[in-house]
A and B are shown apart, each in its own frame.
Chain A
Amino acid sequence: MTPISLLEILDLPMETIMNNLDFPTIQSLRKTCWYLRNFIDDKKPGECLNQLALIESPNKIDLNLRNKVNWKLYPDGSAICLLFENLENGGTKIYWQRSDGDREKIVEKMDYLDGALKDFEIALNHCKSEFENVHFSPTNDIKFLEKISKILEPRKTIPTKNLDIGIQCPAQAQHFLQYFDSKCLKSIDMSMAQNGIIISENASSAAHLAILSIPLHIIDAATLRALKKQFLESGDDKKHFIRHGMNLKKEILIGAFGPPAQAVLQCTWYFKAFSEKVLQIDANSQFFTLSFVKKSEVPNGFVIYG
């Protein structure tokens, strides 16, 4: 068949055509002319890749995009895995991990951060409704944070159900949290590369969460005490901390909180908090939780530490 003029096709069938296309094809088509670019930006056709990960490592950025059900790499599936690597001459090497064999190309005079974040922006623009999962993992590179802020600041907050941030310092967590729509967030999962604890300073946006999960790779008695102190001083009785996959030694917990009020199947501690609230800390083989309860809910005979 001779080349086809897409311009003559009406909007509705045009959208049907594009809904039959995968994400990379739509992005290639988008680059052919401004009419198609506007059409694609407006209609956001095709499947919605609503799981996004942006992982920075020194001189490299991974950008991964996929949908909830299809984990297979493109073209067998819809998962897009790109790696942008900084070249010494200022260019960027882009690797595209594919089911039919990896591809790579070098783009001269393009900063690797710019390249990755441009595609990140396209992914944000193409998402029809909300992201199921967004994962950020920055290094301490201030340039990356500045560039990502330039992209995120002019936008409305990103509607995301589950946010997963691997951070280097507490400020980074706050930096990312401000760009997410607190009404959509169902969970926030933060991990730190260094030993430390983050309780979201953005407590008002986290207060409604069913679970605020903050897994810590390394934890000791001092860290646990710091966590307890943050809760007691927060004045926010909705603050809730759960760590899954508990593997703390009982001795560390006792070292941090003293002898537990209850220690049969799980260890429980109570600490006097603000108003009529008591901070309850529970630990068993599965969970380690901190939450506030009313003083009247503490069982009779249990010690409430000052």
Chain B
Amino acid sequence: MTSPASSSEVKYLIESSEGNTFDVSGAALRQSNTFNAMFLNIGADGPIPFTDYNEATLKKVFEYCEHSVNEENYSGPKHQDDLSKWDLNFFNEMDQKMFIDVINASNFLDIERLTSYCCERIARMLRGKNTQEMIKVITLPTAEELEAKQKVEEKKAAAAKKVAEKAAETAEKTETLEELPVQQLVQTTRNKLTRKYLSFSNE
């Protein structure tokens, strides 16, 4: 693993849910606020585990980041009509499953530009439609799917609560961040970011 110098040539190893690793440039990775909050200043020994997402999804997300490295700083969502040809191709070539995985991964990695464009793309599919028209563009979940989702969410909430409690406990005991397991650090920081975001949105 390389050291986290600010040079764009620095490469980081990313680990996917399959356990596969691949390179991502520091410049691309720095578009992820989650990464910035966790690793930018402290570095990481070994691959950075983003193991909630598969290799194809992560590669797609970082493909976008690599492409937008030289774009000017993000200043809020653009109208879809203002997207470049490359952006449009990028979105159009994804199937529905990949698109949703990319939204979720981008949200987890807190890549503002990509998350915003993806969300706006879906909003555009829905905007101005009545319920009947909407049913044609969205897949309605079955009762079983809803039930399964509810169970997953309950489990996730319980797990997140445990992690948060453990992290708070560990943070009190641990003086340095390096002593925290990386995945836990990811989760803890993400939780903090999420809480911060939610607290702003509630104001």
Residues of chain A having any CB pair with chain B under 8 Å: 1-10, 12-13, 15-18, 20-22, 24-25, 28-29, 31-35, 75
Contact = CB atoms under 8 A, between A and B. Distances in A.
B130 A28 contact: yes
A228 to B, nearest CB: 46
Given A2-B96, A5-B141, A10 B107 contact: yes
A1 B124 CA distance: 12
Given A1-B99, A17-B122, A35-B149, A25 B139 contact: no
Contacts of B134: 28-29, 32
Contact of B137 (A4, A12, A16, A17): A4
A138 to B, nearest CB: 30
Contact of B107 (A3, A7, A13, A32): A13
Contacts, number: 98
A9 B127 contact: no
A92 B149 CA distance: 38
B171 interface: no
A8 B140 CA distance: 11
A28 B129 CA distance: 7
Contacts of B107: 10, 12-13, 16
B115 interface: yes
Interface residues of B, number: 39
A12 B106 CA distance: 11
A1 B130 CA distance: 19
Interface in B121-153: 122-123, 125-131, 133-141, 145-146, 149
A4 B146 contact: no
A117 B135 CA distance: 26
B138 A3 contact: yes
Contacts of A9: 100, 103-104, 122
Contacts of B127: 20-22, 25
Given A4-B138, A16-B116, A29 B126 contact: yes
A156 to B, nearest CB: 18
A2 B131 contact: no
Interface string B163-198: 000000000000000000000000000000010010
B120 interface: yes
A28 B140 CA distance: 14
Query: When A and B form their complex, which 7 residue pairs have the shortest distance between CB atoms, in order from nearest?
Result: A20-B123, A5-B139, A16-B119, A13-B107, A31-B131, A17-B119, A7-B141
